Structure 1
Amino acid sequence: MLVTLFPFFLMISTSFKIKGEFFTRPPIFIPNRFNFDAYRAALRSGGQKALIDSFIIAFVSMCIALILGTMGAYGLRELLKKGKNYGFWMLIIEMMPPIAVVLPLFILFKYIHLLDTYPALILGNTVFVLPFAIWLLLGFLEDIPIPIEEAALIDGCSKFQVFSHIILPLLRSGLIPVAFFSFILPRNEFLMALVFSRTKVTPLTVVIPSLVMSDTVAWEQVAGLSVMAIIPPVIVAMVFQRYIIRGLTFGAAKG
């Protein structure tokens, strides 16, 4: 825990320091005076737009992953009942490195004039988030007894009614960890953000490295913007900790 949390402590401490306190001997771990200028400077240097852009990209990618992921997982489960196992293809897409498809996607987005737009980053991230969401939700679906669906079908429900009125309410606890990870993964993605963005769309993962300039490094702004970037996910993770841990230990393992 000390090894893991110390860099976060150092980052928070650096965000409150003033110039001259970054590289001192002995090092200053707790500033003499808490200075919030780094946060204001980081927001003025493009941090505010970066926070908004990253939220939009991650939130829309999460929504698409949840909508298509639930339907995809339910469809795969129906195929599993018939003895057709296509889950292996989900794993292949999940294991594929993003750098393998960045160039083809770049050419495609350039051809259809989507570079430096929200749709380019949303679609690019969804390609890799969706298989993860399907695979995780499939584990939760396998925990739902099949006789419940069969009883609903006997009562006259259609497949869509079974999915919307039976499966989704029972799947509610599984949607929380899937939503969390489907939001975090696009928000932390760097390669596609670097390749597909220019000036109109500037995610956090591109803006923070831009503060490392050729002649100097704005350490306090890097630390301040990083702190603002990690606070929301940490709060959400603490609130929904029980569901997130269940999604990692149960859904993924059983899938």
Structure 2
Amino acid sequence: MQSRPFVEEHDKMFRWYEYWLKGIDNGVMDEPAVSVHVEGSREAVTGAQWPRKDVEHRPLYLRPRRALSPEPEPTGAEYAAPDGFYQAPLTVTDKVEILSWSTAPFTEPTEMIGQGAAHLFAEIDQPDTNFILRLWDEAPGGARQLITTAYLKASHRELDEERTTEGDPYHPHTRAVPVEPGRIEEYVLRVYPFGATFLPGHKLVVELSNDEPPADAHNALLPPDAFHLPVGRPVTHRIYRDAAHPPRIVLPFTRTVPSS
């Protein structure tokens, strides 16, 4: 059975086409321009534009011991050693190495609607790699819901500074710039638009890899070839998260409107 939000959005799409292609005045242009189904709360949130004006982009920092915190790491690299993983090509292994960080359980419903950015400080030993982020809502019993994703090829890390804003990086993808092996670079990934409410007791989990798992709770729902191409070479990644290299996920927290 299809969910009610899906049916409602499907109906609105057809009425939008009726208005613009057939000239049928069905009232669709009098409705809010944006309607978002919010995972977690399962509410429909409407607005006049995207992104919503009542959003505040705030960072969550990657910390030692796989923690995700509103506060940055205060110590240097000598005390906050980088995380690392080695990924062999999927031609010789079917195991995808994954690093993960998670928040403490939320104590009150926390809503996020919009797009975001991930700032990673990484060193690799090859001229290129992939950075793949997946953000999950993890319930107290361990059940997980994929919230959104972010992807970046290291050689396409260039940003258009004039078009990039906080929480919304813009990559022109006009050329490839190989990475200098052994050099620490900042990589800014665009976190795809999403809407989610993290309920009390739930955690936000961020996973990093350079390939996509061939099969897991999310990918089992996708068509057989709906994956990004793997790197095809062995790559060692070192992810720095110290005072000089503050890796963070910048997310669109909705503002709390004071009651009158």
TM-score class normalised by the smaller sequence: under 0.3
Q: Which structure has greater helix proportion?
A: 1
* Greater C-alpha radius of gyration: 1
Q: Which has the higher strand share?
A: 2
| TM-score of the two chains, using structure 2 as the length reference | 0.26
In the superposition, the TM-score normalised over structure 1's length comes to 0.26
